[in-house]
Amino acid sequence: MEAETGRKDNRPWSLQSDRTSERLSLQDHLPREDRVVSVGTGICPRCGGPLRLVGERISEMPDCARAQLKIVRLGRPKYGCRQRGTRYQAPAPERPIAKGLARRARLTHVLINM
C-alpha cells in the first residue's frame, strides 16, 4: 500500500495530519521519518475487550541529522472499545520546550551555531 506521501507503507492506515491549528505547515520537500507511539496492547484496560483503531493524531517536528534537516512525524493511533464506548491514545512524548516543534538535536544545532 502506498501512502499519499509516495512512500511504501505496510500499515492498514496511513499517517495523515488532522491538524486544526493555525500553525504553518512544514515544507513538503524535506524528508520525513515516520514513528508511531501506540497504547501498547490492543485490549481495553477497563473491560478486557478488543480495541479498534478509530483514528490518530500526527505531530510534525523539524530535526537535524548529520547536517540535513528532516521532519519527524510522530503518529499516535487512537483506539476505541466498542463494549465500553471509550477511546484510548498513547500520551505524547515530552518535548524539550513545551508545545514547541523543535527536537533536542535541532535545538543543539541552533545553540552550537549561534
What's the pTM value of the predicted model, to 2 decimals? 0.41
Per residue in 12-70, pLDDT tens?
Answer: 444 455 555 566 677 788 888 888 888 888 888 889 899 998 998 888 888 766 667 77
Per residue in 89-111, pLDDT tens?
Answer: 998 888 888 878 777 777 777 77
Is the pLDDT score of 80 beyond 90? yes
In terms of Cα–Cα distance, which of 17, 36, 34, 41 is closest to 76?
36
- The residues, any chain, with a CB within 8 Å of residue 105's CB and separated by 6 or more, are 63, 64, 65
